[in-house]
Amino acid sequence: MKRLSLLLVLLFWSVVSAEQCLPPKPFKEMENRQDNYPKVADIMPEVTIDGNVPVLVNFWASWCQPCRTELPILDQLAAQGHRIYLINIEDEPAVAKDVLAQLGIVHLTTQIKTFSLLEQMKVLGLPASVVWSDNRVFRGVGRIHELDSLSNWLNCLQQSNVSQ
């Protein structure tokens, strides 16, 4: 009986609500804007969305040093199985590919888009990332600093999506 009680307590505490998943810097939830904000399919039609798995799209450019600094972190997240996508803003494809090779990025590829996409995404600077998770949207403008906190947050979002 004690084992069953302990199991029930552990099960109760293991259920994560979305409110417990606090976003790390630089991410902030875009409250009351989800309906007006582009969906992943609007900018990357080839990306299918599984409602349980958060999708992170990162916007970067070769001339942006903070972008270059965070790309290895994003590559490590992709290696852990997180759904990470890169969109380069207006570099030549060969330049973008060379930057990724120079940085040792092996788990990610990039698409090339124009500056107008940043306006559509309501992003005013680089680097920037957007996370879609269930019916929530988070935007982060500024460099991602820490692998573990971002990985833990994405895992928390996924777990909260499953438990809803």
pLDDT digits (tens, 9 = 90+) for 68-85: 999 999 999 999 999 999
pLDDT digits (tens, 9 = 90+) for 11-22: 333 445 556 899
pLDDT at site 33: 59
Residues carrying an active site annotation: 64, 67
Percent of the chain with pLDDT over 70: 85
Whether the Cβ atoms of residue 132 and residue 39 lie closer than 8 Å to each other: yes
- Give the C-alpha separation, 138 to 153, whole Å: 12
pLDDT digits (tens, 9 = 90+) for 147-159: 999 999 999 999 9
DSSP assignments along 89-108, one per residue: ES--HHHHHHHHHHTT--S-
Q: Residue 71 has which token pair? A: 């790309």
- Give the C-alpha separation, 80 to 148, whole Å: 11
Place of tokens 């798995």: 53
- Give the C-alpha separation, 127 to 80, whole Å: 21
The model's confidence at residue 32, banded by pLDDT at 50, 70 and 90, is low
- Give the C-alpha separation, 154 to 15, whole Å: 15
- Give the C-alpha separation, 54 to 72, whole Å: 19
Whether the Cβ atoms of residue 108 and residue 86 lie closer than 8 Å to each other: yes
pLDDT at site 13: 38
> Phi and psi (nearest 5°) for 132?
-105, 130
The model's confidence at residue 35, banded by pLDDT at 50, 70 and 90, is low
The reported pTM is 0.86
